[in-house]
Structures are given as C-alpha cells and as structure tokens.
Amino acid sequence: MICAILVAAGRGTRMGPNVDKLFLELNGRPVVAHTWGRFEEADCIDELVLVVREGMQEAFREMAAKHGFRKRSCW
C-alpha cells in the first residue's frame, strides 16, 4: 500500500488577515482541491493523509464530498 501525505495546514498570512490561500478559487476549485485531485487520480497512491489545521477537518470533509474525492483519506 502506498500512502501520500498532503500538508495543507498553512494560513497564508502574508496574503492578508482574512484570506486562506488554500481555499482561494482557481478555475472553479479551491487551490488545495487541485493538488488533492492529482493524488486522487494517481493509480499508484492507495491512501492519502491530509495534514490540516485544528478545526479545519470538517471543511476538508465537505471539500471531499463536493469534488467527489473517494480515496481513503485521514486527517
């Protein structure tokens, strides 16, 4: 089994106080969803570990559901 780690715990503070760069939209999807999607598409990766900030787990669960990410993931 191959497991990938996606570190998505940054805040993007240099972009301003109320901007979370991980969730900025790029072509209709949050920036982090583009990276997550690549891991999702990779046949060689069986499982994904997402490293997220405390309290952000639900936002990532919602993102997985919205974008159809189905690979086993944990955070």
pLDDT along the chain (75 residues), means of 10: 90 71 90 95 95 92 94 84
- Cα first-last separation, the chain: 18
- pLDDT value at residue 16: 67
pTM over 0.75: yes
Closest to 66 measured CA to CA, from 22, 36, 21: 36
